């Protein structure tokens, strides 16, 4: 499904694949193992099993979730899965091309949407974006009535509750990571500067994003600047 070029990583990654077809799970697992040098894959064939796996695997990197699971409907199933996932990013993997469905998944909280019939390179593009805190969604096809489908992310426009309080409550290491991020450093550069693994930086950023109620690096930078707090030591 993806190129055979493997991406080296100092930290092991762990993905949960949720699909009620064993062959699809096998294909996605193979794709992940081809892309990443150090990766663990956990599988679930039902929503109920997936929720159990999320609770028993606290160190998940991301979830690949089939929208059409046999033991749930699309909307409630995705809602339940997102609730169980917490701050673990979830990518919907589905056969639908309905732009409204794609939009509703992103609005619900999915960090990405990948069509099952896409080229493997699309998954190659989606994974780094989502793992860096961004959102990946295909341009929805033009609907029959000619009107474009718009994806409105409510959280992006919602006012943050107390940026100043949230930033001031960060640990010293979290503030260091945030300061370097505001300087435009990548996760790898931040890790090298602080002498830690890149995966540790991802954990810090995920915690800070959750604390500030934002979804990506851009929103995080804006929230920090809005707080008006100097992060330099």
What does the pLDDT read at residue 133? 75
Average pLDDT, consecutive stretches of 10 residues, N- to C-terminus, the chain (233 residues): 44 88 93 88 94 89 91 84 89 88 87 84 84 74 53 40 61 84 87 84 80 77 66 49
What does the pLDDT read at residue 5? 46
What does the pLDDT read at residue 14? 92
What does the pLDDT read at residue 198? 82
What does the pLDDT read at residue 144? 54
Q: Over the range 39-52, which residues count as b (16 or more CB within 10 Å of their CB) and which as e?
A: bbbbbbbbbeebbe
What does the pLDDT read at residue 167? 67
Q: Retrieve residue 232's tokens.
A: 């330099």
From CA 68, how far away is CA 55, in angstroms rounded?
A: 21
From CA 174, how far away is CA 55, in angstroms rounded?
A: 26
pTM: 0.61
CA angle 200, 78, 59 (to 5 degrees): 20
What does the pLDDT read at residue 2? 36
Is residue 189 a contact partner of residue 180, using CB atoms and an 8 Å limit?
yes
What does the pLDDT read at residue 28? 93
How many Cβ atoms sit within 10 Å of the Cβ of residue 130?
A: 21
What does the pLDDT read at residue 224? 73
């Amino acid at each position: 499904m993806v190129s055979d070029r493997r991406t080296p990583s100092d930290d092991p990654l762990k993905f949960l694949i949720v699909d009620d077809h064993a062959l699809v799970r096998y294909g996605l697992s193979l794709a992940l193992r081809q892309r990443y040098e150090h990766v663990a894959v956990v599988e679930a064939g039902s929503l109920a099993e997936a929720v159990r796996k999320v609770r028993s695997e606290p160190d998940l990197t991301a979830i690949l979730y089939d929208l059409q699971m046999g033991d749930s409907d699309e909307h409630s199933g995705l809602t339940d899965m997102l609730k169980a996932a917490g701050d673990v990013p979830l990518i919907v993997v589905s056969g639908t091309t309905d732009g409204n469905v794609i939009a509703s998944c992103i609005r619900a909280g999915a960090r990405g949407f990948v069509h099952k019939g896409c080229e493997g390179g699309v998954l190659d593009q989606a994974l780094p974006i989502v793992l860096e805190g961004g959102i990946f969604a295909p341009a929805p096809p033009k609907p029959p009535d000619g009107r474009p489908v718009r994806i409105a992310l409510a959280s992006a426009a919602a006012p943050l509750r107390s940026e100043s309080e949230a930033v001031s409550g960060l640990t010293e290491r979290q503030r260091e990571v945030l300061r370097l991020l505001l300087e435009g450093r990548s996760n790898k550069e931040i890790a090298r500067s602080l002498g830690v693994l890149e995966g540790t930086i991802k954990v810090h950023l995920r915690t800070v994003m959750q604390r500030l109620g934002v979804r990506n690096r851009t929103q995080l930078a804006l929230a920090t600047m809005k707080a008006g707090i100097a992060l330099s030591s």
